[in-house]
Amino acid sequence: MNHPTKQQSNILFLFSDTGGGHRSATEAIIEALHLEYGDRYTTEMIDIFKDYAPPPLKMLPALYPRIVRAPRAWGLGYHLSDGPRRVSALSAGAWPYVRNAYRRLVKEHPSDLIVSVHSLANEPVLRALGKARPPFVTVVTDLVSTHASWYHRWVDLCIVPTEAARRRAIKYLLSPEQVRVVGLPVADRFCQPPGDTEALRNALGWPTDRPVVLLVGGGEGMGPLEKTARAISKANLPVVLVVIAGRNKNLKARLEAYDHWMPTFVYGFVREMPDFMRAADVLVTKAGPGTITEALNAGLPMILYSHLPGQESGNIPYVVSEGAGVWAPRTNRIVEALRNWLDNPGQYDMAVRACRKAARPDAARRIAHILVETLEKHKAEKELSALASM
């Protein structure tokens, strides 16, 4: 946290580590604020569950990786709780249990603007704030299949990543004036121009004489990553295979021990993903919103092999309809998709152009500007009101 001076305004960000997307989007916006405005505004991040929620809600960030390993149950719960009336009923039932915690949150963290980057922060924090509150802005971090809990009628503004998310906001009773389509915020390093692909590959130690297929399963190496890597290897395609096993050390060891049929590079958790994406030709991954957005910014066509039912379900038709990738839920279809792009470079080039057309690399900076405009407008209105009452 940066501590504000008398001249500075403080922006409070509400998120939670239930999945990596909420934190990374929050950090991207804060980075953009500092890039655009320097130290003019101070920022603070609060994990709504870990930092303030009573047990067992406090344990949700730690339990989340286990919960999503039962995707069918997760998807059922997602759909059963979706809808404005259901969200209102669930929120009303939970309020007596959480109200003291969230009243303490808003008391201990006074701010000039509050930004919710988690759908479950909206209802309890808005209730805790009451009527005399600073502006409240929601930044939606799901692309298409957005849950009703993202949309609260009391918010001053709701920033969404896609037109489909805007339509759902209107369906879920927000007014058109409350909703802005801007894009999904990602770190500035994922928003740079493509650069020299050959130089990037030389720096990474990758061959430059054949296409590079980047296989990613998220920070935890989730999904059928090992099965997919072996299928691509056995197909003996004229490609370089780069596999990111994330923090899954056992998976990394197994992949390194496997006798691959093509040049193969296996990594654990990496921080060079922007360079990896710019140096690659195809991304094979699950349909996570952050990864999709980063690939679009890199002009990197995608083969999507899995998704989390619920909030990621709409990401697949979104990518396919944009022409930026294909859906291949089985290993044989992944191999077919790769072979098709290798045999039909014109189709591959169309997918590259589609990625670049759908990309919104300026999303984080645009959101930063919108937040500052909202904050400064509120401050000006308060000053005018104070002058009028004198």
Q: Is the pLDDT of residue 223 over 90?
A: no
pLDDT in tens, 120-151: 999 999 999 998 899 999 999 999 999 999 99
If pLDDT is split at 50, 70 and 90, which confidence band does 66 have?
confident
Tell me whether the CATH fold assigned to 9-188+362-388 matches the one assigned to 194-358.
yes
Q: Is the pLDDT of residue 243 over 90?
A: yes
Structure confidence at residue 8 (pLDDT): 85
Structure confidence at residue 219 (pLDDT): 52
Average pLDDT over residues 215-227: 73
Lowest mean pLDDT among 7-16, 63-72, 92-101, 135-144: 63-72
pLDDT in tens, 172-192: 999 999 999 999 999 999 999
Out of 3.40.50.2000, 3.30.465.10, 3.40.50.150, 3.40.50.970, the CATH code matching 194-358 is 3.40.50.2000
Average pLDDT over residues 315-334: 97
Q: Is the pLDDT of residue 47 over 60?
A: yes
Domain residue spans of the chain? 9-188+362-388, 194-358
Structure confidence at residue 6 (pLDDT): 53
pLDDT in tens, 4-30: 555 689 999 999 998 779 999 999 999
CATH topology of domain 9-188+362-388: Rossmann fold (3.40.50)
Q: What is the rounded CA–CA span in Å between residue 88 and residue 107?
A: 24
Q: Looking at per-residue confidence, does 43 or 194 come out higher?
A: 43
- Name the pTM for this structure: 0.93
If pLDDT is split at 50, 70 and 90, which confidence band does 218 have?
low
Structure confidence at residue 195 (pLDDT): 84
Structure confidence at residue 1 (pLDDT): 56
Portion of the chain with pLDDT greater than 90, in percent: 80
With helix as H, strand as E and coil as C, how does the chain read? Answer: CCCCCCCCEEEEEEECCCCCHHHHHHHHHHHHHHHHHCCCEEEEEEEHHHHHCCCCHHHHHHHHHHHCCCHHHHHHHHHHHCCHHHHHHHHHHHHHHHHHHHHHHHHHCCCCEEEECCHHHHHHHHHHHCCCCCCEEEECCCCCCCCHHHCCCCCCEEEECCHHHHHHHHHCCCCHHHEEECCCCCCHHHCCCCCCHHHHHHHHCCCCCCCEEEEECCCCCCCCHHHHHHHHHHCCCCCEEEEECCCCHHHHHHHHHCCCCCCEEEECCCCCHHHHHHHCCEEEEECCHHHHHHHHHHCCCEEEEECCCCCCCCHHHHHHHHCCEEECCCHHHHHHHHHHHHHCHHHHHHHHHHHHHHCCCCHHHHHHHHHHHHHHHHHHHHHHHHHHCC
If pLDDT is split at 50, 70 and 90, which confidence band does 385 have?
confident
Lowest mean pLDDT among 60-64, 123-127, 381-385: 381-385
Q: Is the pLDDT of residue 71 over 90?
A: no
Q: Is the pLDDT of residue 349 over 70?
A: yes
